[in-house]
Chains A and B, each alone.
Chain A
Amino acid sequence: MLSRKSEVLQVLRVVDIYKHFGGIKAVNGAEFSVKKGEIVALIGPNGAGKTTVFNCITGFIQIDKGRIFFEGEDITNKRPEKIASMGLARTFQIIRLFPKMTVLENMMIAMRDQYEGLHHVFFSRKKMMEKQKEAEEKAIELLEFVGLEAKEDELAMNLSYGQQKLLEIAKTIATDAEFLMFDEPAAGVNLTMLKKISGLLKKLKEQGKTILFVEHNMEFVMNMADKVVVLDHGDEIAIGTPKQIKGNKKVIDAYLGGVQC
């Protein structure tokens, strides 16, 4: 059993969670944890339940059984907006931006404390405007950081696929969340963009962020991750360093099995 102290060091703790959709056992007893400052990869064949695990953690899917802790606090089946506001930001496997809003707006809406209440429109207008100015500046800085500053006024839907992926990641940074979750951040992008995204993740780690990501690109996983969690049929079949995972028999079987069927 973990002591109280080490529990706090664990940013995320997923304890024996289950989610069945009718007969489909999408998540079936998965258990793993993420320590502060760590980059953890969640891998596994198609349909292993990786995205479902993401949705369970972030509150978009209610789990049947098990517990999820974030920074020591029980967040099991809490509402997504509640969990997000505790300092957890994520991207989606299928990109979810605000298509008919500008890149800059997409960034600003991700930021905290933006005086978004209705009462602020009328009762703290001055402070609200000041905050807006600050947020604009910070958003521009971040867009420069990821290399999208030229697209500031463009509608998100007019960006290329790779740029949209980048913007989605940039938005999670804009939230100031300490824990970031990316569902296939490098899927479908070209080599240049892939390098850009891995560089970005490394910089985020240097800044002390904790990251959990799903990715099929093994080179990317082996390069980026401190720890790898392998999921198969909704259960973790191996946890270890990239090196340990590479030689793991169960993992090789799971992937080859996946190829056969």
Chain B
Amino acid sequence: MDYFIHIAILICIYIILAVSLNLIIGFTGQLNIGHAAFYGIGAYAAALLALSGQPFWLGLLAAMFFAGLGGLLISVPCLRLRGDYLAIATLGFGEIIRALMKNWTSLTRGPLGLPGIPSIEIFGITFSQPWQFLIIAALIAVIVVFLIRRMIKAPFGRVLRSIREDEIASQSLGKKIINYKVIAVVIGAMFAGVAGSLYAHYISFIDPTTFTLQETILMLCMVVLGGLGSIRGSIIGAALLIIIPEPLRFLSLPSSAAAALRQMLYAIILILIMLYRPQGLLGERRYTRNSNAVKKKRGVASA
């Protein structure tokens, strides 16, 4: 039973990661390949505060703040430039953050990692049982999805999508596209920080090996599998990519082989999606008049 709860908790964490990444890539069209860095910043911020005896909510806020700050620092210089500078910058940023985690030993203990992160405690109640933790994780995932959905459906989200579609046309209609792009990256990063905080409290041990480029690629796969620009798609993508590799566990392979097999599996899924369903399992929905009531969900490519 605990095994299934464990899977469910991971799904919640990855839903937050995939949906927040989708906000940046799928809705705003800005290629971010350093999402794991924001996740890692959040995890370390929350862990360090928790280890120094601070309450959960403060660690959560710090996780959001520092991850968001990272997003701001990385996006302001490159989003002024046209083209895919952000992709390269976020890739580099991911490596810098990992180098910091490894080498800033006075703060992070480097490769030794941070053990003994306490479980979440809110109003004196400790959520130490897996099922208790699942409630918190699910609740936070629901809140994050709700918030991002609100943004996307509002005129704000419409501007984000217009930037993805055509920056020049968007500018010619008076949109301050740089501001919007920066906001999207910062918000996406903040929510990745939230996921990091959950992860740190849940696993109770973090080290730099968790927040790698491979981790970002996993998140990217989830977003692409579900569909760029589809929130539901990201939820499904996250769940599928957590569940699908699980049977590999029962093959009793050596752990290095299992990891390689997982990576291969992700690559195969990605290639299949690209070939046969480039819009993802769920295409982007059509935002029609009263789309709340009518809810048409046709794939863009099949339209």
Contact = CB atoms under 8 A, between A and B. Distances in A.
Interface of A: 58, 60, 79-82, 84-85, 89-90, 92, 96-102, 104-105, 108-110, 112, 114-118, 120-122, 128, 131-132, 136, 152-153, 155, 158, 171, 175
Greatest chain A CB density within 10 A among B183, B187, B289, B300 is at B289
B172 A58 contact: yes
Interface string B148-190: 0011001110110110011011111111110000010001000
A112 B177 CA distance: 15
Contact of B158 (A105, A152, A171): A105
Given A84-B172, A98-B169, A99-B166, 10 more contacts: A60-B168, A81-B171, A102-B286, A102-B288, A105-B287, A109-B159, A112-B174, A116-B156, A118-B151, A128-B154
A155 B303 contact: yes
A170 to B, nearest CB: 13
Contacts of B289: 104, 136, 152-153
Contacts of B158: 101, 105, 108-109, 116
A133 B7 CA distance: 43
A116 B161 CA distance: 12
Nearest to B163: A98
Contacts of A152: 288-289
Contacts, number: 107
- Give chain B's interface residue range (CB within 8 Å of chain A): 20 to 34
Contacts of A81: 171, 174-177
A107 to B, nearest CB: 11
26 contacts: A60-B168, A60-B171, A60-B172, A81-B171, A81-B174, A81-B175, A98-B162, A98-B165, A100-B284, A100-B300, A101-B161, A101-B165, A102-B287, A104-B288, A104-B289, A105-B287, A108-B158, A109-B158, A112-B174, A118-B151, A118-B187, A128-B155, A131-B155, A152-B289, A153-B289, A155-B303
B300 A89 contact: no
B174 A155 contact: no
A84 B303 CA distance: 32
A118 B166 contact: no
Nearest to A135: B155
B172 A121 contact: no
A84 B171 CA distance: 8
A153 to B, nearest CB: 5
A132 B172 contact: no
B75 to A, nearest CB: 15
Given A89-B172, A120-B154, A158 B161 contact: no
A90 B169 CA distance: 9
Given A98-B166, A152-B289, A120 B172 contact: no
